[in-house]
């Protein structure tokens, strides 16, 4: 049995609820084999990207049948960590909310290395 979950975008509450529903289904209608395929876009927009990432790490540790793929927003976050671009995917589509879930507050009016960048206060 395959379950596919995508575009969580920082909504830990909805991801946890989906996992509870899957666990309930597997309890009442067991499958000889199953996988939960997480299709990416865990971060950005929603209020709790950090909890989403933490939840997925723990889910995969508990059971390797949790398959976790990276989406474009996840790659955008990694790209931002490697090279902070103020006008990249991460900053323009929810990076501020993602950073806040990690306790980082961004402002766009500061400068790094002589060019406008997003800077953690």
| 73 is a catalytic site residue | yes
Confidence of residue 89 (pLDDT cuts 50, 70, 90): confident
- Render the chain in DSSP notation, one character per residue: -EEEE---TT-HHHHHHHHHHHHHHHHHS--SS-EEEE-S--SSSSS-HHHHHHHHHHHHHH-TTEEE---HHHHHHHHHHHS--TTSHHHHTTHHHHHHHTT--EEEEEEETTEEEEEE-
- Tens-place pLDDT, residues 36-80: 999 999 999 889 999 999 999 999 999 999 999 999 999 999 998
Segment 108-117 shows an average pLDDT of 43
What's the predicted TM-score (pTM) here? 0.84
**Relative orientation angle of helices 49-62 and 12-28, to the nearest 10 degrees:** 30
Confidence of residue 104 (pLDDT cuts 50, 70, 90): confident
Which of the residues 9, 12, 38, 73 is marked catalytic?
73
Confidence of residue 107 (pLDDT cuts 50, 70, 90): low
């Amino acid at each position: 049995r395959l379950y596919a979950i995508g575009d969580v975008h920082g909504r830990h509450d909805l991801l946890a609820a989906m996992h509870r529903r899957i666990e309930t289904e597997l309890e009442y209608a067991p499958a000889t084999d199953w996988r939960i395929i997480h299709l990416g876009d865990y971060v950005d927009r929603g209020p709790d990207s950090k909890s989403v990432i933490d939840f997925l790490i723990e889910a995969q540790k508990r059971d390797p049948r949790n398959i976790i793929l990276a989406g474009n927003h996840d790659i955008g976050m990694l790209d931002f960590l490697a090279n902070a671009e103020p006008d990249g995917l991460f900053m323009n589509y929810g990076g501020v909310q993602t950073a806040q879930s990690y306790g980082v507050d961004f402002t766009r009016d500061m400068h790094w290395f002589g060019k406008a960048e997003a800077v953690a206060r």
